[in-house]
Structure 1
């Protein structure tokens, strides 16, 4: 569900955005972490690396490098 409903909204326009303001990227990462925690049923205090290990996804910060 995350990849179908949330991820497209977070990554829309990333193909053409070459430079992203770090504060704006941090806001997108907060949203990504929130929804991944909800999908996995984890608390808001859980560490973020578990989110990406369990789902096999990459953080938005590093996926942007792969698009270029």
Structure 2
């Protein structure tokens, strides 16, 4: 097991969690106030969720299963 890859994967997952909360708050604020800036920020955060979630999961799985 590669501990450095595991630590990097956990770091990416924690970044994805940060984007999850930011996206939820900005999208709810954007839909209630009809402000396009919050909707754009929420959309960018959703892209960040998928990117960092994918990078984190691949790093964690590589740490466990790749030699």
- Scaled to the shorter chain, the TM-score interval is 0.3 to 0.5
- TM-score normalized by structure 2? 0.36
Please tell me whether Structure 1 or Structure 2 has the larger radius of gyration of its CA atoms. 2
Give the structure with the higher percent helix.
2
